[in-house]
Every structure is written in C-alpha cells, then in structure tokens.
C-alpha cells in the first residue's frame, strides 16, 4: 500500500499501487513504447529504433524523484521524461534515440497514461462492486421477512423489511456500477493528436499510426479522434464516481445509524484491529462506514473541481488540464475505497431481528397510527379519522399505553373496528404493503443482469 500516511484512509492497497509513482511512470513509458512500435508498423521509424526504445522504457531505469523535480519546472512530466528516455537510449543507440516521441506532444503522453491507469482501475472497482452486490442480494433474500422500523426524518415510521432496505442499497450500487462501466468506456481511450490535434507532423500516416497505437495499448483498433481540450468524456466518469460514492455514503450512513447502541439493529464485522478505540475498550465503531462516508464527503468537491477545470482554452488548456491528474487519481481511489469498504460490511454484517422487532414494539403502536387512520377513514372520512388518531396518539404517549388499547376505549372507533382488527392493528407483517413485490423487483433485476452475462 502507499507509504503516504496522509492518503492511507483514502485508497486501497490495489489502487495505491496502481496510482503509485512507479506505476504512473510506467504508464507514460508504455505510451512511448507503443508509439514507437506503432510507427514502426506504419513505416514511419525503423523497427530497430522501436526495439531500442522499448528496451529502455522501464520505470526501474529512471530516478522518479529527479523526474518529479524537473516536471515541477517544466509544467508537465512528459518533457523531462522524454529527455531522460532519450538520454538513456542514446547511450546505447544514438540513431534510435532520435525517434523517441516522434510526432507526439506532452499531452498525448499524460492523457494516454491516465487512460491506461483508468483502464487498469476498472477491473479493481468492478470486482469489489460485484462482491458488494452479491452480498446485498444475499442479505435481501435472507431477511425478506425481517421487519424493522421505517424511519423518516430520523423518526419512527410504519415498518419495512430489512430485505427491502438491502435491496434498495443493491439497486443504487448496481446502477452506479453500470454508470461507472459506461464512464470508463468513454474515458479510457487513446489521446494522440500531436502539437495541435491534427497529427500534421506525420503527414498522410497520422491516422494509421493512431490506429496502430490504439491497438498496441489495448484500446481497440478503431480510430480515436484527439480530444485535447474536450474533457466531457472524462467528466462523465468523474461524475459517475460522484454518484457512486453518494450511494455508498447513503448506505454507510444508514448502517452507522443502525449500529448505535440505543438502536442496536446491525453491526459491522468484528475483526482484530478493526472498529476499536484507543481509549475505550467497549467501542465497536463503524470503521468501514467511516471510510465510505469520508469518501462521500470528499468526492463531490473533487467532482466540482474537475468540472471547473473543463473550461480549457483553444487546443491546449492553461491550468485546467494541469489540474486534472491529482483530481482524477483522488476520485478513482476514493470511489474504490468506498466500494471495497462497503463490500466488507455487507459480506460480514450482523443483523439483529430481535432488536428490530423490539424497537417497533417500543413505539407502543404509534407507528401504526396511519394504518388505523386508513381503516377508520374509509368509514368515517379522512378528516374525522385523523382527528381521532391524533388525540389517541397523544393519550397513548401521556399514559404509556399502546395505541390499540387506547383506541379500544373510544366508542367511535369500536363502532367501526372489530376486536380482531384492533388486536391485529400492531402486527408489523400485516402492514408491509408492496414491500416484498418491490424487493423482488430490485433483486430480480440484479439476477437478470447476471443471467444475461452468462448467455
């Protein structure tokens, strides 16, 4: 994992490695290698030159600290990188050194390197997202009949099922993964346009080199038009990350609230070194939820910064483009840590059906006032029923008695509701409406997607 402690809560080991200095440097060198090979295929440079460049383009051959210092002066890492690569090749093959970076520009190196990193990041995020989705589908199925309080404005409301709650999380995560997939597909593409986006320096072989280069880098054979200052495709991915972290933050917020001791309905997995306190041995903190919530707090500002940087001048931006690398790296890693954290939560979540039912019971039937009002409203009219229930709830709270007991003493109520209806008024399972239909719809959509992939 990254040795930079300041980022230790903002990434995962896999993503820290992917966005490490050595990995970023190798991505830039991969561009130079692929460019040389593509140009050799197109007959632009000698094959021997491409081989010499490829042999030298290894991160281990470079002093990253020196490169970073020089990039600070140059305004881009590409300029010192090309110079250092040229010097390295020249020591072995002076002729081949003259063909390095042929017809390319600094932005081609930087943008394509980032595209390569994004291409490699997608499987990491997708793997953890699928873990999360599978765990949520299992939770939903296991707890399709587990009732708990609905909560609106943080106050008790009519019951729902934990299966429906988990299915709701599942739906948003799955939609988020689809957005990410589309975003990666639009953003992880070749950037190759030369000085001002025309590849004029390559004459009539520019498009052939571009097609070969795209193929060499694994982006596909189709021609990709240079997108120098048009950042909308990359913005699509960044915005998708913002939505995904928001969805994960919502899930993390729900779980952290349900973990409060006075609620006690769920708990994160308990593992050695996780969830404790430096001073309070009794603590069981929502550690993974903390990481997801931190990401959900961090990413919206980064998304806004990226969108602000889209206003780039003519064929090369002044400051906007240079702002992007740290933003993109931080957004992808934040999204990744949020997904991975919530996957761990979902896979090991402890659920307490007894406490869920107890918390419903502790409302003394107040959350079923709507049910009673609808029953009475059909017979007495809504306004009359609402007045009766408002007074009954107040009396129930004052006397500490269940709502059904209070209603059983009101003549207007007993004249309309049978003893059996009053006895069953506070049974959660009888006031779940279409909860199971909605739950099945969310989970079956997930299952259908899996079936489609297998066909």
Lookup: tokens for 351: 């659920």
> Cβ distance 49 to 40 under 8 Å?
yes
No. of helices (H) and no. of strands (E), the chain = 19, 4
Separation of alpha carbons 206 and 216, rounded Å = 15
Q: Which of 277, 297, 308, 434 is catalytic?
A: 277
Query: Within 10 Å of residue 433's Cβ, how many Cβ atoms?
Result: 10
Decide if 140 is catalytic: no
Give me 341's structure tokens: 């954290």
Q: What is the CA radius of gyration of the chain?
A: 30
Say which residues have a Cβ less than 8 Å from residue 185's Cβ, sequence separation at least 6.
none
Tokens of 409: 């003493």
Q: What SS3 state is found at 366?
A: helix
Rounded to an integer, what distance in angstroms lies between the CA atom of residue 145 and that of residue 262?
Answer: 23
Q: What is the dihedral of CA 352, 355, 357, 358, to 10 degrees?
A: 170
Task: Yes or no: say if 316 and 344 are a contact pair by the CB < 8 Å rule.
Answer: no
Outline where 188-315 has alpha helix (H).
206-216, 232-258, 287-308
277 is known as an active-site residue: yes
- 350-351 and 147-152 strand pairing: unpaired
In sequence order, what are the residues at sequence separation of 6 or more whose Cβ sits closer than 8 angstroms to the Cβ of residue 81?
Answer: 25, 28, 29, 32, 62, 67, 71, 109
State how far the Cα of 232 lies from the Cα of 235, in Å rounded to an integer: 5
Annotated catalytic sites, by residue? 277, 316
């Amino acid at each position: 994992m990254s040795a930079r402690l300041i980022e230790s809560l903002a990434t995962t080991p896999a993503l820290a490695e992917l966005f490490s200095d050595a990995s970023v440097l190798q991505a830039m060198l991969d561009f130079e290698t692929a460019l040389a090979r593509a140009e050799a295929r197109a007959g632009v440079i000698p094959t021997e030159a491409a081989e010499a460049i490829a042999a030298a383009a290894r991160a281990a051959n470079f002093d990253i600290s020196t490169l970073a210092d020089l990039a600070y002066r140059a305004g881009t890492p590409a300029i010192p990188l090309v110079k250092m690569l040229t010097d390295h090749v020249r020591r072995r093959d002076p002729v081949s050194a003259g063909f390095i970076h042929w017809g390319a520009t600094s932005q081609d190196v930087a943008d394509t390197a980032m595209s390569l990193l994004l291409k490699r990041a997608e499987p990491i995020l997708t793997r953890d997202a699928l873990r999360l989705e599978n765990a949520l589908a299992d939770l939903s199925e296991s707890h399709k009949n587990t009732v708990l309080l609905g909560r609106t404005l943080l106050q008790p409301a009519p019951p729902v099922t934990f299966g429906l709650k988990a299915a709701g999380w599942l739906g948003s995560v799955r939609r988020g993964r689809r957005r990410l997939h589309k975003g990666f597909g639009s953003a992880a593409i070749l950037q190759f346009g030369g000085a001002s986006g025309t590849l004029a320096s390559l004459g009539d072989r520019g498009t052939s080199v571009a097609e070969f280069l795209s193929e060499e880098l694994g982006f596909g054979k189709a021609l990709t038009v240079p997108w120098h200052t048009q950042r909308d495709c990359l913005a699509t991915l960044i915005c998708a990350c913002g939505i995904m972290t928001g969805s994960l933050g919502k899930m993390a917020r729900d779980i952290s609230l349900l973990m409060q001791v006075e609620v006690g309905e769920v708990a994160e997995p308990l593992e050695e070194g996780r969830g404790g306190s430096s001073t309070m041995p009794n603590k069981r903190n929502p550690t993974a939820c903390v990481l997801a919530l931190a990401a959900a707090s961090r990413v919206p500002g980064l998304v806004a910064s990226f969108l602000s940087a889209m206003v780039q001048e003519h064929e090369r931006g002044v400051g906007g483009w240079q702002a992007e690398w740290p933003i993109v790296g931080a957004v992808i890693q934040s999204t990744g840590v949020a997904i991975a954290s919530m996957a761990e939560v979902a896979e090991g979540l402890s659920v307490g059906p007894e406490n869920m039912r107890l918390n419903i019971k502790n409302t003394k039937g107040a959350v079923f006032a709507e049910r009673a009002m609808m029953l009475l409203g059909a017979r007495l009219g809504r306004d009359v029923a609402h007045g009766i229930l408002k007074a009954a709830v107040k009396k129930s709270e004052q006397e500490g008695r269940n709502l059904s007991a209070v209603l059983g003493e009101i003549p207007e109520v007993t004249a309309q509701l049978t003893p059996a209806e009053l006895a069953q008024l506070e049974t959660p399972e009888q006031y779940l409406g279409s909860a199971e239909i909605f739950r099945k719809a969310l989970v079956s959509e997930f299952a259908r997607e899996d079936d489609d992939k297998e066909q």
